[in-house]
Every structure is written in C-alpha cells, then in structure tokens.
C-alpha cells in the first residue's frame, strides 16, 4: 500500500512538509504505512535499526529499561514526530506505541539517500531534532528539585494540550493514554505517589476523574499555577 500524503493528518507539520510536491511523492514511494496497537514495539533497544519513521497519528513512548527491570520513559512522541536514529547502527532505546498509532516507515538507507538528495529534508530534520532537544531539556528542568505535585500538573497540562485539536487551548476533558506506572516512569515517581497526587488534585477540585483514565480539568489556571 503506497503512502497517500494528501490525506495525511500531519502533512503540514511533519519533516516531509518541507519538500516540494514532486520531492514528497518521490519520498512517498520509498515508505510504507503501518498501524501499531497499544503495546506494540516499533523499535527495540539493542536491535539493528534499519528504519526510521514519522508518526502520523497516535502516541509513542521512547523508553529504557534498567537492569533491575524498572522502566524509565525518556520522551513521548506526538504526531508529526520523527523516530529512528540516523547515526546509530543499533537502537539505543525502545519505542513503543501507547495508543493505536499510525507511522510512515522508511528504510533507513533510502531515507539517508533522500537527505542527500533533498537538502530541505536535512534542514527540516535538524529543526525537528532541535525541538526534540528543547523538549528533552524541558523534561530535565522538570525533573530536578520539583515536587511530585508540580510534575504531575505539568504532565496533565501537556496531555490536555496534546488531546486538544486546537493548538493553544488545552482540552478540558480527555483520556489518559498512560497507565499510572507509565506516568510514574515518565516523571521519576512511584505508582503510589502518582495515584495519591491525582487523588489530591481531585480533592482540591482542580481535576475530576472519571474511571481510571478519564480526566476533566475543573481549574486549568490553578493547575498551571502548580506547574509554575
């Protein structure tokens, strides 16, 4: 099944958006679409990395598992995000679907060749990489010396923003795409602390929970204040 860029939900924002129509259709011929279900592994740490991909819909996690089996989530990947390491023969981290996700997969060799051929693609990837770096540093800033409360508030706001279709305003109600354990692994907390802090936020009437995953923001301003 060949890629159909005209109906791609991220055709305006993904790296390939920097290409001309002709270039893009040439690139489209190299790739193939694939859908992953929640929990499916896109790339596995230590495995040879012969592909790279653009996420067109869904949500991925980039994570690392320590020797003792504990997982640390290093990053979430939202639609239009790019995954795959261009300069490493072997994957450093696991990439796993958190929700049903659709990716455009490209053979690594072909993509490298495309970068050589289309300088605009290199620039677009550089821009994306710079954004990823900025996000990673925001996470570092969050990790250090911040209370569990602030971490969770920041995460909820980020997820609310991602769930919203309008780019600026956060969604007022959404489903958490992460388990408590995944939230904990992302924030560097324990499951119990995440659960208790969510309870506390509900206690303070800042959020409302519907079932295990449903979140409604009752007071987004106060949540933002907690996140600083």
Partner DNA sequence: CGTATGGTTGAGGTAATTCAACCTGTGTGG
Partner DNA sequence: CCACACAGGTTGAATTACCTCAACCATACG
Nearer to DNA, 150 or 224 (CB): 150
Nearer to DNA, 122 or 200 (CB): 200
Contact status: 163 vs DNA (CB under 7 A) = no
Contact status: 213 vs DNA (CB under 7 A) = yes
Contact status: 13 vs DNA (CB under 7 A) = no
Q: Which of residues 75-134 bind its own copies (CB under 8 A)?
A: 75, 85-88, 92-93, 115-116, 119, 122-123, 125-127, 129-134
Token reading at 122? 């290199």
Which listed option, DNA, its own copies, none, makes contact with residue 91 (CB within 5 to 8 Å by class)?
A: none
At closest approach, how far in Å is the CB of 137 from its own copies?
A: 4
Residues 111, 176: Cα–Cα separation, whole Å: 33
| Sheet arrangement for strand 214-217 | 173-175, 214-217, 207-210
Q: From the list 120, 209, 219, 220, which residue makes contact with DNA (rule: CB under 7 A)?
A: 209
Contact status: 196 vs DNA (CB under 7 A) = yes
Which residue ranges make up the site for its own copies (CB under 8 A)? 62, 64, 66-67, 70, 72, 74-75, 85-88, 92-93, 115-116, 119, 122-123, 125-127, 129-134, 136-137, 139-141, 143-145, 185, 187-189, 228
Binding residues for DNA, per CB under 7 A? 145, 147-149, 179-181, 188-196, 198-199, 209, 212-213
């Amino acid at each position: 099944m060949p890629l159909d860029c005209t109906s791609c939900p991220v055709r305006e924002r993904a790296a390939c958006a920097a290409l001309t129509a002709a270039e893009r259709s040439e690139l489209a011929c190299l790739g193939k679409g694939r859908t992953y279900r929640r929990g499916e592994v896109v790339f596995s740490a230590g495995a040879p990395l012969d592909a790279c991909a653009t996420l067109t819909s869904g949500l991925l996690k980039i994570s690392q598992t320590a020797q003792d089996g504990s997982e640390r989530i290093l990053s979430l990947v939202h639609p239009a995000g790019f995954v795959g390491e261009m300069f490493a023969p072997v994957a450093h981290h696991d990439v796993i679907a958190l929700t049903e996700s659709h990716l455009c997969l490209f053979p690594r060799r072909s993509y490298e060749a495309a970068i050589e051929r289309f300088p605009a693609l290199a620039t677009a990837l550089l821009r994306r990489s710079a954004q990823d770096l900025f996000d990673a540093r925001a996470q570092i800033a969050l990790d250090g010396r911040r209370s569990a409360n602030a971490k969770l508030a920041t995460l909820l706001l980020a997820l609310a923003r991602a769930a919203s279709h309008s780019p600026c305003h956060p969604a007022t109600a959404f489903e958490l795409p992460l388990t408590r354990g995944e939230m904990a692994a992302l924030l560097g907390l324990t499951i119990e602390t995440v659960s208790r802090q969510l309870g506390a936020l509900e206690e303070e009437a800042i959020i409302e929970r519907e079932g295990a995953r449903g979140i409604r923001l009752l007071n987004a301003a106060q949540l933002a204040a907690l996140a600083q």
